[in-house]
Amino acid sequence: MDSITSTFLKMKMPVGTIRQRSADSVRRTTGLLDSFTVLKDYSLNKYTAESFYIPNYDSLRARLDRNKFTITRYGGTDFYAIKKDSFNYIARITTDNQQTMVSMKPMTVSSTSQSYSEVNKIVAADRDHNVELGRAVSISNNYAVVGARLEDKDADGKNPISDAGAAYVYEKGSDNKWKQVQKIIAADRSPGANFGWSVGISGNTIVIGAIYERFDATGRNESSSEGAAYVYERGADGVWKQTQKLTSSAREGYNYFGTSIGIDGDIIVVGAPGHSRDSTERQEGYVGDAGAIFVFERKGNNWRRTYKLLASDREHGGGMGNSVAISGNLVIAGAWAQDFGMNGENRMEAAGAAYIWERMDDGKWTKAQKLIASDRTPYDEFGYSVAINGDNAVVGARNVTLNRDDENNNGYTGEAYIFSRNENGEWKEVLAIIPNDRKTGDYFGSSVGVSGNYAIVGSPRGSTKNPMVGVIYMYWKNPQGKWVPSQKIASSDERIYSGFGEAIAIHKGFIISGAPIVHTDVAGKNELSNAGAGYIFMRGDNKSGGKANKTQ
């Protein structure tokens, strides 16, 4: 006879199932499920987790199959979605004392957007003048990485090398507060390399760009402003260690490899807007500063350069690769200096473009589409920033003028665009984002991000009641499939000219923004000019006591 019937599934469980009765254990697992719900686009609900021990996972899977439930694992986590018809459940399945424990509760798709509130401000433990921490940021699960391209000192705060650069790693604690756990530098740090120009993190891997690095992976073959990217892996001891230095092909100087970086799982993409060679690497394929994206894939313990992605309409000075992002099998790259329309028509100087590639089942990448703005005009810089997640992409155009009929005045007002992939696999513009309070010089669109049903756009000179403090605009995709404005976010200390919003990233339930010109520490004291800072925001209930910024 089956031992118990699941309250939520209303289904008899496998023989030998035992209900978990410990109130403390149930409370802990309820909190874990609620935390994961915040990371996804689901509403918190009042239910307490149902927890029980089962003989093994296979017996649960067999019982679910017989009762027409599906069970799907979320990536490499311990969390699972259990579904049947219109019923949705979140479950955590773990091994506990040689037994398999299941904790689960119902979940509801959010019918309204959830506000993000500031969790804390982060700075470098060894903060210094003119380091500009926060010019690049990235966040993944419980870790965030922030670039400080002008940092001189090594990880121990010694051996200064001018503008060698560094990056700082922060970890989220159980109180939702983020604390610095490590400062990372290049093993072969050199003057002016600007290590930290770009950063990316996915799981236990960090990638850091150094666009002015001159030497190859062997420390030889010097080439001016060639650029490099450095890979760090988190070991079992929790320490991030450099494992590889990545470089481009045809190192001829001024490739600026590492200007932009994206990473998702076992794939790294690196932008090189100064790269001029085509896929043959021959002189006859030379198009000056056309740009390229280099793809690296993890093979065992090494990262191998597998593909070079090029625009089909490569253009002299197009600079493709000034921005790049990856989501699963999709890569998007910006080319803010590109001049031509979708089919090479309607030349408009630096109107900009973006390109999307898709990785096929055979591992090869094919260009899916070129994107341009529906209202493009000269010098828009469309593609200055890009982001992609699933079937949604966002592209920033930071130099759109306040009045599109006047390209000579009121520049760097900015605009952003959301594209969605339809059932035919085509990417279509679904929204041109123009905030009601946008003004000249806001640089709206300097940074963008998208995760699930949330899209964000940075405006580093945007205003609240205080002028030019920098803001982030958030948009939410409602159940009707429409993107609507949901929140305007500013830092808790709203420093004028702070650069807040210049670099932003969103991953599941967290947003991070850099503010490279901030002078003060976490307490708002100890001013150091342009020391820089970062700010992290969390979606939903914030147990740490941070205050949510009101929707505007």
Domain locations in the chain as residue ranges: 18-109, 116-539
DSSP string, 84-117: ETTEEEEEEEEEETTEEEEEEEE-EE-SS---EE
Between CA 291 and CA 267 the distance in angstroms is 19
Least confident of 62-71, 92-101, 196-205, 299-308: 92-101
Q: Pick the closest to residue 149 from 162, 161, 169, 166 (CA basis).
A: 166
pLDDT category at 408 given cuts 50, 70, 90 is confident
Which pLDDT does position 140 carry in this prediction?
93
Amino acid identity of residue 409, one-letter, is N
Least confident of 111-120, 159-168, 320-329, 487-496: 111-120
Give Dmax over CA atoms of the chain in angstroms: 80
Position with higher pLDDT, 87 vs 71: 71
Least confident of 92-101, 421-430, 488-497: 92-101
State mean pLDDT over 23-34: 86
Position with higher pLDDT, 44 vs 78: 78
Which pLDDT does position 39 carry in this prediction?
66
CA dihedral 212, 229, 537, 400 (to 10 degrees): 50
Does this chain's domain 18-109 share its CATH topology with 116-539? Answer: no
Alpha helices in 461-545 (DSSP H): none
State mean pLDDT over 208-232: 94
Between CA 146 and CA 139 the distance in angstroms is 9
Q: What tokens were used for 328?
A: 């699963």
State mean pLDDT over 543-552: 36
Which pLDDT does position 98 carry in this prediction?
77
DSSP one-letter code for 19: E
SS (H, E, C) 170-230: EEECCCCCEEEEEEECCCCCCCCCCEEEEEEEECCEEEEEECCCCCCCCCCCCCCCCEEEE
Sort 123 into a burial class: Cβ within 10 Å, 0-12 / 13-18 / 19+: buried
Note the Cα 84 to chain centre separation in Å: 32
DSSP one-letter code for 551: P
Do 475 and 455 touch, CB atoms closer than 8 A?
yes
State mean pLDDT over 83-103: 85
pLDDT higher than threshold 70 for residue 547: no
State mean pLDDT over 183-193: 97
Which pLDDT does position 252 carry in this prediction?
84
DSSP one-letter code for 506: E
Sheet order of strands, 143-148 included: 136-140, 143-148, 166-172, 178-184
Q: Pick the closest to residue 438 from 406, 416, 453, 409 (CA basis).
A: 416
pLDDT category at 1 given cuts 50, 70, 90 is very low
pLDDT category at 3 given cuts 50, 70, 90 is confident
pLDDT higher than threshold 90 for residue 41: no
Which single residue is written with the structure tokens 């890569």?
331
pLDDT higher than threshold 50 for residue 549: no
Phi, psi of 493 (to 5 degrees): -105, -5
Which pLDDT does position 541 carry in this prediction?
52
Do 293 and 308 touch, CB atoms closer than 8 A?
yes
Q: From 2.60.120.10, 2.130.10.130, 3.20.20.140, 1.10.10.10, which CATH number describes the 116-539 domain? A: 2.130.10.130
Which pLDDT does position 545 carry in this prediction?
38
Which pLDDT does position 2 carry in this prediction?
62
Q: What tokens were used for 150?
A: 């002008």
Which single residue is written with the structure tokens 């003048």?
129
Q: What tokens were used for 153?
A: 């000192």
Mean pLDDT over the full length of the chain = 91
CA dihedral 486, 492, 497, 502 (to 10 degrees): -50
Do 302 and 239 touch, CB atoms closer than 8 A?
no
Which pLDDT does position 269 carry in this prediction?
98
pLDDT higher than threshold 80 for residue 546: no
Architecture of 18-109 per CATH? Answer: 2-Layer Sandwich (3.30)
Residue 218 CB coordination number (10 Å)? 9
pLDDT higher than threshold 60 for residue 551: no
Residue 138 CB coordination number (10 Å)? 26
**In sequence order, what E strands does 361-492 have?**
365-371, 382-389, 392-397, 415-421, 427-433, 447-451, 454-459, 471-477, 483-489
State mean pLDDT over 405-412: 82
pLDDT category at 310 given cuts 50, 70, 90 is very high
Its pTM stands at 0.83
